[in-house]
Amino acid sequence: MRVLMVAPGTRGDVVPMAGLGHRLQGVGYEVAIAANPAYAPLVVESGCEFTPLPGNLAELIKHPAPGAKASAGNVVSFWKKLGEYMDNAATGTLAAAEAGADVILANSVAPYAYDVAEALGIPAIGAHLQPTEPSAAYPPVLMNSARSLGPVGNRIIGERASAGPAPYDGPSARLRRELGLRKESRAAGERRRRKAHATVLYGISPSVLPRPDDWHPGLVMAGYWWPAENPGWQPAADLVDFLADGPPPVFVGFGSSADIDPGFILDATRRAGTRAVVQGVEGYLGDDAIGVGSVPHEWLFPRMSVVVHHAGAGTTAAGLRAGVPTVAVPVYTDQPLWASKVASLGAGPEPVPYKKLTPERLGEAIREANSTPSYARRAKSVATALATEDGTAPVIEALRRRELGR
């Protein structure tokens, strides 16, 4: 059975899918992953086949420095470019599926994969990293806020947000027209699948977000999908030397979400009186800090005293898995939700919103995380729970049901 995974997002969207694909191949599935060309090495190293989706979403969505505001013109331009990106991704998804697929696993920003699957007469299954289903249990992730509106408000606003305009509406409509499918909006298609209790697999740990009571039976809280390990990877000698030359440092990295000047970060870590590993630059940044490029979180994070990041789904999972406290600096979409979950689990202090980020506030949060023993205890407790979960098993079960035609 050939599985096509469609992941048009950033690195944080591709890494879990590559890890899941690696494990599926280990039990006999053939897996191809459609993603941006920048992630081809990541996919190939996982043992999966790579197929390209044009563009680079990471470059498109980078946020300005903390405190800076985007102009109205920039916002209009961003939405236009995002729509063009999704249109190209939809075309790439069709080409990838036509090259061969028995089933498609589509992430939350690839609803056009359902249109492709319908045209080709193959099943499609959602494979999401964010809780996209409207629910009383959480506010919609598109609100860019973790502030609950109450059970009724969360549900109503979640349904309205789901039905609202999105950058992939146009691409879905175009594909359906060109493929000879009946006219149906993206929102209407989602309502139809929801009414039919269509399967959506969520790569989310129930230890972090318990399965909501109002989810329909087709929604599966599978558990995290961990990155595939690269047995040939070795850390750089200067990083190994730096880690051995003092107490555990703090990791600071913001992935594809933001581009923060290293001087800003070093100001914060020095205010907190801690050594630092800063992602996004490379080489020594003084006696107390070193910059790194791409380093596997599963190797690096357990060697840290605290991890500071944007609270993306995958990075949050990696920090909790490592059993060290987290300082979350959420930027947009689902990140405020994960940041609030870290705090509610007691695995770190209250989040520092990106828009309000200053070296002083970040330094104080790092100092609090490092000096509060309960954060470390709770982080280790969550890590213990995560170690008992197997996020791959529910995916295999769903695929086997498709093989048997159920």
CA 311 to chain centre: 9
CA 359 to chain centre: 26
Is the distance from CB of 58 to CB of 11 less than 8 angstroms? yes
The tens digit of pLDDT for each residue in 141-193 reads 988 888 899 999 999 999 999 999 999 999 999 999 999 999 999 999 999 99
Q: Distance between CA 57 and CA 312 in Å, rounded?
A: 15
Burial class (CB in 10 A: 0-12, 13-18, 19+), 105: buried
Q: How confident is the model at residue 260 (pLDDT cuts 50, 70, 90)?
A: confident
Residue 259 pLDDT: 72
Say how many residues make up the chain: 406
Query: Among the listed ranges 67-81, 267-281, 372-386, which one has the minimum average pLDDT value?
Result: 67-81
Q: How confident is the model at residue 69 (pLDDT cuts 50, 70, 90)?
A: low
Angle at CA of residue 25, ends 24 and 26, nearest 5° = 90
Q: Is the pLDDT of residue 281 over 70?
A: yes
The tens digit of pLDDT for each residue in 106-138 reads 999 999 999 999 999 999 999 999 999 999 999
Contacts of residue 155, Cβ cutoff 8 Å, sequence gap at least 6: 134, 135, 136, 214
Residue 404 pLDDT: 64
The tens digit of pLDDT for each residue in 196-236 reads 999 999 999 999 999 999 999 999 999 999 999 888 899 99
Q: Distance between CA 357 and CA 373 in Å, rounded?
A: 24
Q: What is the pTM of this model?
A: 0.94
Q: How confident is the model at residue 72 (pLDDT cuts 50, 70, 90)?
A: low
